[in-house]
Structure 1
């Protein structure tokens, strides 16, 4: 008697590292959960820029060498939309152009398909899965708060007839504290923008999925997750089941075990415990010269030790102005960017690092006591995993909502006032105040440190045997196994 073929999880990730790696790592957990056997089939879209393509191929090469049952199916190239008005619209439309190729790939599967797992930007492809009789799951690489907002956004669209920044008072999303309009995510602040229109559509299509996989934990974001489960996000329309299986992190060290420590780690080794504030702003974070001057003034005046990853502006030939917003900073020219004498005046107390830095290893280092971050969710989870309080400095995407949640709901961060009308500019005095609060003896910083330490335990307990995320992972594995089916022809 022939053995039953192993069901496969078919993944359609967006190409950005924060989306791609989070989805792959999450589905690798499903592969290893319980006694349910699955394989992974990764549908690889060709990204719209050469730089992004190179990075995706590097990820594919690494996963191919992992030894896990992961297969790769490269989708035919499509022509990017030339008339997209914004980043989010471009990404959603570009992904949707792949729908016929995704359908063909699914229809050609010779083994049962447990599910089509879609990036949040690909949620309209629930229709492809439905046509072929295959379960569909939306993977949310951001917060439970952002998920709650996206599910509720079609309701808000009907209820709020003005721009969000014209709302008198706050914006109300079930499960979250009232949100001041200035902390709404970037893609939804302009209701006349196609980006906003797409986000309303994406959130609406979440409701048509078989389920939603979220990189968070019940205890980490109890308010928004409970609101979704109780049907408060879209009155009269139950949401699909949400499986909070996080925090999902690639926790392996960046360090080459055969080589010397990274220079940043060696420098931290010489610093006292919890004495260094770490400033790092993600793979796309960089600042103009005027903002750099404000940061240097704040760091000099606050008096705390610091490790600052400072990047230069994207090079025109390597993706500046990329339609999908994937402009990557260059290595910083410190002589050009930093005020004269700054490095000399802070020698021994601070290190400015002008290129990629091993963030995971830095956050794990005992010398680090606080994190000034752009507030991308992966960086936030890494910080919470190590119990580090934050001062969030949002720059783009959903990061303003993340910052609001970290300060006002989780309590793991001190506030940092950013001027959205000036491209999220922060004055030196404000950054100085925030760093002193984060690292000093004041009550605000003390409370954030206590809460961050609590969240460290929450994160670790959730993914351990018997934890809430491990239980959600087992429920998800069972649902996927029960739903596995050969696609209709």
Structure 2
């Protein structure tokens, strides 16, 4: 006779930026569970686009899972909507279509794996109703930072308070997001800039539904965003009503083994002096137009600093991910640029036209600054490695992240991005920001000092006795307590 092992069901949306951090959080939750309960993790996969990431995750679990029980289950395919007006609407509607499949998958788990809790991606809040119907606790895993969470919770009321479009407030008024300095309207997330569009309505919907969860797990640390976390916990985002419990467990970062043999970018970095290289990368979905790339090239050349630039081209027709850049075609880069920065010793700069191992690069001693699109995973990785940043937001919540990084957290130098011109950055502005970040003046000095302190804070937070480790234990304890409230675990005869 053996005791059943309860399982924690993870429901990520597709994309490595959502899947991998949630899986890492699930693995950490298993390692932190206590109270005599053994748990497993069951990942419900919604789309074939993440098959490669799932395979990598399975290999990592098999190679170094520490005995953790992690399983993967593919949900049946659904016919995606074809009349959507943006990615948030598309993802949210696909999640709604998956509700019967999720109900069937959870109900169909074997008796040996009764469900202890469901952890939902921030765009999966329609599935809270499925969890309620099945009498299963539901937690939201918030992939972004506490600043974005404050905005999500505040947005439903904000939409009622602001009569017109948010961008029309620019230069007239700021937006109140609890825990942050007054926020310029053009720093708000892309999906809400047109309030009449479904994208904004879906953002507000998810913000309302967060209040229905049993808890919100946030990929941040208490030391990184204390003011915002305090404002959320005090109910300042939710009309004085207490929000669900918050569990700041970050930084949640998975560290795959280094590439072998060493990646060409890493080999190039080996030839550079410590803290001498500016790293530029715009995420798995970010790419530059030819006009933007030309400005970057001129700005880097004039900055006088060495650089490693991951440059991607626009997606091929019918696809969503950036394509490899055509460096030989003469469109993305100014004529003669590559020859001008090359050299026998590795040269002043390297342009890499496809994906690169970002974590390895940020961890390299030669990297002294990071021009980033401000995806929160990238920000966490940069802080973990102690690398100061210059923010170049592109889409989603990245403009709000950039504002928080500069004005609230102090971990990035300010860089002017013209949002009304497609997030355009002039060469002179990039040159100025790079020089400042790499050691030019007082702003850069303060940022580097702050980032160094946050590197220590991030690492301490996840160590035994740290704030994030304590939050993770509290989360595990709450799941265990709910299991106890639901009665003894079933026994399975074998």
- CA distance in 1 between partners of 2:391 and 2:468 (Å): 26
Q: Quote the offset at 1:64 in angstroms.
A: 5.9
- Cα distance in 1, alignment partners of residues 245 and 51 from structure 2: 36
| Structure 1 counterpart of 2:233 | 229
Q: Which residue of 1 aligns with 2:44?
A: 43
Contact 2:382 2:388 in 1 (8 A): yes
Residue aligning to 1:86: 86
Structure 1 stretches of 4+ moved >4 Å: none
Matched, 1:55 2:57: no
Q: Is the 8 A contact 2:33 2:477 kept in 1?
A: no
Q: Tell me which residue corresponds to 1:480.
A: 479
Match of 1:480, SS state, is helix
Give the Cα separation in 1 of the matches to 2:263 and 2:73.
36
* CA–CA distance in structure 2, aligned partners of residues 391 and 474 of structure 1: 34
What is the CA deviation profile of residues 218-269 of structure 1, one whole-angstrom value per residue up to 9, with x for unaligned ones? 111111111111111101421000101110101234322xx3x222112111
In the alignment, the residues of structure 1 paired with residue 99 and residue 281 of structure 2 have an alpha-carbon distance, to the nearest angstrom, of: 37
Cα displacement (A) at 1:177: 1.1
- Per-residue CA deviations over 1:432-479 (Å, capped at 9, x if unaligned) read 111111112311111110110011011001000100000000000011
Aligned to 1:240: 244
Deviation at 1:296, TM superposition (A): 0.7
Following TM superposition, by how much is the alpha carbon of 1:153 offset from its aligned partner in structure 2, in angstroms? 0.9
Q: TM-score, normalised by structure 2?
A: 0.92
In 1, the alpha carbon distance for the partners of 2:100 and 2:138 equals 16
Aligned to 2:149: 147
Partner of 2:490: none
Name 1:65's counterpart in structure 2.
Answer: 62
CA contact 1:207–1:239 (8 Å) conserved in 2: yes
Residues 257-406 of structure 1 mapped to structure 2, 5 A cutoff = 259=261, 261-316=262-317, 319-320=318-319, 327-336=320-329, 337-347=332-342, 348-406=347-405
Gaps of 5+ in 2: 488-494
The match for 1:323 is none
Q: Which has the higher mean CA deviation after the structures are superposed, 411-420 or 38-47?
A: 38-47
**SS of residue matched to 1:271:** coil
Larger mean CA deviation between 302-311 and 106-115 belongs to 106-115
User: Aligned residue pairs: how many?
Assistant: 471
> Aligned-pair distance for 1:359?
0.9
Mapped to 2, the partners of 1:55 and 1:190 lie a distance apart of 35
Counterpart secondary structure, 2:124: helix
* Structure 1, 149-158 or 105-114: larger mean CA deviation: 105-114
User: Is contact 2:460–2:466 with CA below 8 Å preserved after alignment?
Assistant: yes
Question: Partner residue of 2:200?
Answer: 196
Q: What RMSD, in angstroms, separates the aligned Cα atoms of the two structures?
A: 1.6
**2:491 matched residue in structure 1:** none
* Cα displacement string for residues 296-320 of structure 1 (whole angstroms, at most 9, x for unaligned residues): 110111111111111122122xx43
Change (3 A) 1:3 1:14: same
* Selected match of 2:258 from 234, 254, 260: 254
CA distance in 2, matches of 1:57, 1:468: 30
* Structure 1, unpaired ranges of 5+: 321-326
- Distance in 2 between the 1:448 and 1:213 partners? 28
